[in-house]
Amino acid sequence: MTGPNVNVASYLASQKQNKNKELAAEWATLEDLYNEKLWNELTIKLTRFVRHPALQKESILMQLYQNFIQTFEMKINPYGLVQILEVVVEHISDKKEAIEFLTKLKDKIKICDEAVWYIQVLQGNIYLTYLNDLDAAKNIIEELRDVLEEVGNVTPVHGKYYMLASQYYRRVGKHSDYYRCGLQFLGCSLDDFPRDQWAQQAFFLGLAALLGDGIYNIGELLAHPILASLKGSPNEWLINLLKAFNTGDIKKFNEMKPTWSKIPDLLAQEVKLRQKISLLCLMEMTFKRSATQRNISFEDIATETQLPLGEVELLIMKALAQDLVRGEIDQVAGVVNMSWVLPRVLDRKQIAGMATTLDTWMASISSMEKLMETRAAEILTN
C-alpha cells in the first residue's frame, strides 16, 4: 500500500503547483478529502471537478484516473465512480479502447446493478454514435429493456436508457418505438435535458407521432411542456398539425398541406397520413356522441372523413381490427353501432365536450328519477 500512497502524494503535489490559482485550490481540496478518507465528499467533488474546462484532454484525464482515482476506486460509491469516469471515457480517442475500459470497469462495480446498467448505456452510446455498430447497440437496448422493466421503481439509469433507445430507433427509422421511448425519456429526465435541445426533440417527436404505426394518443405529446418550445420557431406549424390529427380535423390537414408537404418524410407518407387522420376522425365522431346516439351512418362518416362512400366500411373495419373502436356494422342499413372508443389524453376542448355529455347524462338520470317518483303510486296500487 505504500507505493500508491507515495504516487498519489507526489502527483497531487505537482498538480497543486498549477499556475491557475483556482485550479490549484481545487487540487488542494481533493488532497484534503483524500487524506481524511472522506470518500463520499471526495466522490461528489470529483463528479464536478472532472468537468473543469482545463482538464478536458485525454492525457490529463487518464493521468487523473491512473495516478489518483484508481487508487481508491473500490472505496467509493460504484454509481458515483461511473459518473466520474464517464467524462474520462468521453475523451478516449480510440473508441474501441473506450469500450474495453468500460468492460474492465464493469467487473469492478458489479456489486451495484445501477452502475452496471449505466456502463451498458455508455457502451451502447459509443457503439451507436462512434462505431456505427447498430447490432451491438440493439443487443444492449434489448437486454436492458427486459431488466429495467422488472425494476419496481424509476432509477437514474432509466432516463439515460430511454435516450439511448430513442436515438437508436430514430436512426433505424422505427417511428413508433422512437416516439414511445422519447416520451419515456422526457418523463424521467426532462429537468436534466438541455433547454436549447427542446425544440429539436419536440420536432422529432412530433414527426414520429404522425408517422408511427399504432400511435393514436397524440394528446399525450400535445399536453407535454416540451411542445411549447416550438412556439415562435419555424416549426410552430407542427403544433397545429398535431392538433388537427388529435381531433381528426381532415379539413385542417388539407389546408396545411402546402406547409407540411415541405417535409420529405411527411410528403412520402401522405397516403398513410390520410389513413391515420381518417381513423382519428372516426374515433372523434364516436367520442363526441352520447351513448344513445352511437348509430353512425356511413354517409355521415363519408362526409366527415371526406372519403368515397364505398371506402367507409373498410375504414370502420380497420378501426375495429386495431381495437380503436368497438361496435357492430349493419351493412343493410348502412350504419355502424359504436359501443366503445379507445381512451386518449384529451385537450381542453375535448374535456369540455365530455363535461357537456356528462351534464346531459345527469339530466337524463334526474328526469328518470322524477318519472319514477311520479309513477310510484300507480305502480304500488297496481
295 domain residue, yes or no = no
pLDDT(317) > 90? yes
Determine which of 19-23, 117-121, 352-356 has the lowest per-residue pLDDT on average. Answer: 352-356
Give the model confidence (pLDDT) of 253-276 as tens digits. Answer: 999 999 999 999 999 999 999 999
Instruction: Give 193's DSSP letter.
Output: S
Give the domain extent around 128.
118-132+157-172
38 domain residue, yes or no = no
Give the model confidence (pLDDT) of 367-381 as tens digits. Answer: 767 666 776 656 555
Q: Report the number of distinct structural domains present in the chain.
A: 1
218 domain residue, yes or no = no
308 domain residue, yes or no = no
What confidence score (pLDDT) does residue 145 get? 95
The alpha carbon dihedral of 219, 220, 225, 226 has a sign of: negative
What confidence score (pLDDT) does residue 292 get? 72
pLDDT(382) > 60? no
What confidence score (pLDDT) does residue 138 get? 98
Q: What is the pTM of this model?
A: 0.85
168 domain residue, yes or no = yes
163 domain residue, yes or no = yes
124 domain residue, yes or no = yes
The alpha carbon dihedral of 352, 355, 360, 366 has a sign of: negative
- Cell numbers that stand for 234 in this block: 419555424
Give the model confidence (pLDDT) of 71-97 as tens digits. Answer: 999 999 999 999 999 999 999 999 999
All residues at 6 or more sequence positions from 245 whose CB lies less than 8 Å from its CB, including other chains: 209, 210, 218, 253, 276, 277, 280
pLDDT(347) > 70? no
167 domain residue, yes or no = yes
Whole-angstrom distance, CA of residue 23 vs CA of residue 48: 12
DSSP 156-168: HHHHHHHHHHHHH
Query: Terminal CA-to-CA distance of the chain, rounded, Å?
Result: 102
As a three-state string, the secondary structure of 11-68 is HHHHHCCCCCHHHHHHHHHHHHHHHCCCHHHHHHHHHHHCCCHHHCCHHHHHHHHHHC
To the nearest whole number, what is the mean pLDDT of the chain?
A: 91
- Cell numbers that stand for 66 in this block: 491512473
